[in-house]
Chains A and B, each alone.
Chain A
Amino acid sequence: MDLLKQFRRRQTRWWDLVVLWAALAQMAPLLSPQSSGEYEVKAAFLYKFASFVEWPEATRDEPLGICVVGKDPFGGALERVVEGKTIGGREFVVRRLKAWQAGEPCHILFVAASEKQRLRPLLGQMRHEAILTVGDVPGFCEIGGAINLSVVESRVKLEINLDATARSGLQVSSKLLSLARIVRSTASAASAANGVRN
Chain B
Amino acid sequence: MRTVLFVGRLACTAVLAALEVRGQNGLAEASLEQLLDIQVTTVSKKEQKLARTAAAVFVLGAEEIRRSGVLTLPDLLRLVPGVQVAQIDANAWAISIRGFNSLISNKVLVLVDGRVVYNATFSGVYWDQVDVPVEDIERIEVIRGPGATVWGANAVNGVINVITRPAKATPGGLATVVVGSGPAAQGTLRYGGPAGTHGAFRTFAKYSRFADQKLADGHTGADGWSRMHGGFRADWELGRRDGLTVQGDWFANRGSQTRSTSYLRSLAGLVFVEDLSINGGNLLARWKHTSSGGAETSMQAYYDTYRRVDLGTRETSDTGDLDVQHHFVPFGAHDIVAGGGFRAVRSTVRPGGAVSLAQAERTDPLYSAFVQDEFRLAPQLWLTVGSKVEHNSYTGFEFEPSARLAWTPGSRHALWAAGSRAIRQPDRVENGVRMELATTPLGANTVLDVRVSGNPTFRSEELLDFEAGYRAQWTQNLSLDATAYASFYSRLATLQPQAPRFTGETSPVRIEQQMLYGNMASARNYGGEVSLNWTINGRWRMAASYALRRLNPSLPPGSSDLTYSDATPRNQIGLRSEVNLWRNLEWDQTLEWVQQLRNGRAPGYVRADSRLGWKFGEVTQLSIVGQNLMRSRCAEFGGSGWLINTMTARKVFGRISWTF
Seen from chain A, the residues whose Cβ lies within 8 Å of a Cβ on chain B are 10, 13-14, 16-17, 20-21, 23-24, 27-28, 30-38, 40-41, 43-45, 47-48, 52, 80-82, 85, 117, 138, 151, 153-158, 175-176, 179, 186-188
Contacts and interface: CB of A to CB of B under 8 A. Distances in A.
B46 interface: no
A153 B20 CA distance: 22
A198 B437 CA distance: 80
A35 B40 contact: yes
Nearest to A40: B27
B63 A47 contact: no
Nearest to A113: B45
Contacts of A82: 28
Given A30-B16, A45-B35, A151 B22 contact: no
A188 B197 contact: yes
Contacts of A153: 63, 66
21 contacts: A14-B630, A17-B630, A20-B5, A21-B577, A24-B579, A27-B12, A32-B20, A34-B539, A35-B39, A35-B41, A35-B477, A36-B38, A36-B39, A36-B41, A37-B40, A38-B42, A43-B27, A44-B28, A48-B28, A153-B63, A155-B40
Given A30-B16, A31-B15, A81-B28, A179 B40 contact: no
A156 B38 contact: yes
Interface stretch (B88-96, B509-517, B530-538): B530-538
A54 B45 CA distance: 36
B27 A81 contact: yes
A24 B12 contact: yes
Contacts of A16: 1, 5
Contact of B33 (A24, A35, A80, A179): A179
Contacts of B40: 35-38, 41, 151, 154-156
B48 interface: no
Nearest to A23: B12
A17 B591 contact: yes
A187 to B, nearest CB: 7
Contact of A158 (B36, B43, B198, B540): B36
> Which of B39, B168, B538 has the most C-beta atoms of chain A within 10 angstroms of its own C-beta?
B39
B20 A155 contact: no
A4 B5 CA distance: 23
Contacts of A45: 32, 35
Interface residues of B, number: 46
B197 A35 contact: no
B28 A47 contact: yes
Contacts of A155: 36-40
A34 B37 CA distance: 9
Nearest to A84: B28
Contacts of B8: 20
A35 B38 contact: yes
Nearest to B537: A33
A154 B12 contact: no
B273 interface: no
A52 B32 contact: yes
Nearest to A42: B40
Given A24-B12, A38-B41, A155-B38, A32 B28 contact: no
Given A85-B28, A155-B40, A188-B198, A37 B476 contact: yes
Interface in B1-54: 1, 5, 8-9, 12, 15-16, 19-20, 22, 26-28, 30, 32-33, 35-43
A25 B35 CA distance: 26
B576 to A, nearest CB: 12
A176 B33 CA distance: 10
> Which of B28, B477, B536 has the most C-beta atoms of chain A within 10 angstroms of its own C-beta?
B28
B457 to A, nearest CB: 52
Given A13-B630, A31-B539, A36-B27, A179 B36 contact: yes
Contacts of B63: 153-154
B233 to A, nearest CB: 17
Nearest to A157: B36
A154 B39 contact: yes
Given A35-B38, A157-B36, 7 more contacts: A37-B41, A38-B41, A48-B28, A52-B32, A81-B26, A156-B38, A158-B36
7 nearest A-B residue pairs (beta carbon): A35-B538, A34-B538, A44-B27, A38-B40, A33-B537, A154-B39, A31-B539
Interface string B271-288: 000000000000000000
Given A28-B536, A44-B27, A81-B27, A156 B35 contact: yes
Nearest to A16: B5
B1 A33 contact: no
B222 interface: no
B520 interface: no
Nearest to A80: B26
Given A20-B8, A23-B12, A186-B197, A36 B36 contact: no
A95 to B, nearest CB: 19
Nearest to B67: A153
Contact of B32 (A17, A23, A179): A179
B32 A34 contact: no
A138 B235 CA distance: 15
Contacts of A175: 32
B433 interface: no
Interface string B151-175: 0000000000000000010000000
